[in-house]
Amino acid sequence: MTKKLGFLILGTTVVATFAVVVWQHDRSLTGLQRAGVIRVGYAVEAPYVFLKSGGEVTGAEAEVARAIVSRLGIQQIEWRLTEFSQLITELEAGRIDVIVAGMFITPERAKSVSFSEPTFHVQQALLVAVGNPRGLHSYAQAAASPEVKIAVLSGAVEERLLRQLGVSETQLVLVPDALTGRAAVENGVADGLALSAPTIQWMAWQDQLGRTEMAQPFEQDELIEKQYIGYGAVVFRSGDRQLRFAWNLALKDYLGTPDHLRLITPFGLTAADLPGLVGTEEILSQP
């Protein structure tokens, strides 16, 4: 037996042994397979998850979730709409089984929930009034201007990032969703809305910008790179290791394939938005 083959067999054995040990004490996947349905919590933020005109849930993350759920042998998804800030609470309370909402991986969230491996990586952006009257081109610039007010989705990573950059409580305008935030910018309640770039790009494609536009150019603050901000994933209860383990295996075989890229391209995401070699463990090991 060659050394390479020996390591391969050893690696396969370790994975198989881990799965058996986990599954002996955890039925988070097999229970869903037996029931034939998984309750998926989501908040509306296109292009990750949103509703079609007929009320059907779609979006880049929603469609990937459908593909993975099918591969796991679960027949049906029951979609549960929840405000973004309440998704983790709903998960911990057992009213949903997973979160599919374009939620970014952060150490703070990982204290109470677990993440799949990353499914995408995107840049940050800022929605401003047409003409960008405040001349805003970075989050740090907004933080340095006490008179500037920035809207953020309540509980989103952008809220934490802006606070770290020095944005005061009086500068923050908390909103439940992107369209409410856009209205705040249009009405002068806020000078900008902090979102990921694909969200604003999707709003532009759907003619939803109204009297707003994306701030151009936009500088990515140093903290964004240092803290691995912009890596999204599916969220699980910490104890549901069987489900997370199987989901990650299915993701590994699916992400970056032609089928996957065909699925996300209509929503404005491309191969450039894949997470590459960065994994959840690396993201969560940040100082």
User: What pLDDT, in 10s, does the model give residues 23-82?
Assistant: 567 999 999 999 999 999 999 989 999 999 889 999 999 999 999 999 999 999 999 999
Residue with tokens 């299915």: 250
More confident call, 242 vs 223: 242
- Ranges of CATH 3.40.190.10 domains, the chain: 3-119+231-269, 124-226
How many Cβ atoms are within 10 Å of 189's Cβ, its own excluded? 13
pLDDT tier, 10 (very low <50, low <70, confident <90, very high otherwise) = very low
pLDDT (mean) for 177-204: 94
The per-residue pLDDT for 4 is 34
Residue identified by tokens 């901000």 is 229
Q: What is the pLDDT of residues 89-121, one digit of tens each?
A: 999 999 999 999 999 999 999 999 999 999 999
Query: Position of tokens 């949903």?
Result: 96
231 has a pLDDT exceeding 80: yes
Q: Is the pLDDT of residue 226 over 70?
A: yes
Instruction: Name beta bridge partners: 121.
Output: 231
Q: Give me the mean pLDDT over the 159-165 stretch.
A: 92
Using CA atoms, how far apart are residues 145 and 170, in angstroms rounded to an integer?
12
Domain spanning 3-119+231-269: which superfamily? Periplasmic binding protein-like II (3.40.190.10)
**Residue 209 pLDDT > 60:** yes
Counts of helices then strands in the chain (DSSP H, E): 13, 14
Which two tokens mark 134? 């405040």
Q: Which residues pair with 45 in a beta bridge?
A: 49
What is the structure's pLDDT at 287? 62
Domain 124-226, CATH: 3.40.190.10
Whole-angstrom CA distances from 160 to 70, 199, 260, 267, 274 are 35, 18, 31, 26, 23
Q: Looking at residue 224, what is its pLDDT? A: 83
